[in-house]
Amino acid sequence: MNVIDAIRNRRSIRKFRDANIEDEKVNIILDAGRWAPSGMNNQPWQFIVVRSRETIDKIAQCTIYSDILRSANLLIAVFLDKDEMYDRTKDVMAIGACIQNMLLAAHSLELGAVWLGEILKEKEKVNQILDAPESLELMAVLAIGCPVERPTSTRKALDEIAHRGRYSRK
């Protein structure tokens, strides 16, 4: 799948059908995350892939979006590894780049995915469920599956967000 098309057509998918996703595909997604850029190439990310229905159910209880998690085929919990941090703002941006790579890779494999952030309000509980140490700070949970919807979305017009030469108030 073409890069620009993937960027333009990727949507957040919140409804999945029951299906198996091969480990090979999961590894392509993780590998895409791994190749994100980071400041000083510090790669401050760690991933936990969750396939067990029991564990998914426990994590689902940490968010108001439990139905999405329960219908997903697998989750990828994405953490900031605080032992690798050098600058919180830059490291958090690197995590965003890493997540976007994984979402684009999932889309290019014809899988659907959604980036869940609301669950961060229960991040300590998620760490506990996954045996993750305190040095790992939960940044997002990606719910991944075979899509059964093709939602649309919108963005601000380019001239609302892009300025030429210097800032020009709209």
Q: Is position 89 an interface residue for a second copy (rule: CB under 8 A)?
A: yes
**Binding test (CB under 8 A) with a second copy, winner from 20, 110, 149, 163:** 163
Show contacts with a second copy in window 125-154 (CB under 8 A).
129-133, 136, 139-140, 153-154
The yes or no reply on residue 83 touching a second copy (CB under 8 A) is no
Q: Is 46 in the site for a second copy (CB under 8 A)?
A: yes
39 binds a second copy (CB under 8 A): yes
In order of 46, 108, 140, the CA distances from 80 in angstroms are 7, 25, 9
Task: Report the residue number, 16 or 102, with the smaller CB distance to a second copy.
Answer: 102
Nearer to a second copy, 69 or 98 (CB): 98
CB crowding 143-170: b at 16 or more within 10 Å, else e: bbbbbeeeeeeeeeeeeeeeeeeeeeee
Select the span of 13-21, 44-52, 60-68, 144-152 touching a second copy (CB under 8 A).
44-52
Size of the site for a second copy (CB under 8 A): 72
Under the binding rule (CB under 8 A), the answer on residue 107 touching a second copy is yes
Strands (E), 7-73: 16-17, 45-50
DSSP string, 87-124: -HHHHHHHHHHHHHHHHHHHHHTT-EEEEE-GGGGGHH
Stretch that binds a second copy, among 14-22, 62-70, 100-108, 143-151 (CB under 8 A): 100-108
Q: Which CB atom, from 150 or from 169, has the smaller least distance to a second copy?
A: 169
Minimal CA–CA distance to 33: which of 94, 122, 107?
A: 94
Q: Which of 85, 120, 146, 148 binds a second copy (CB under 8 A)?
A: 120
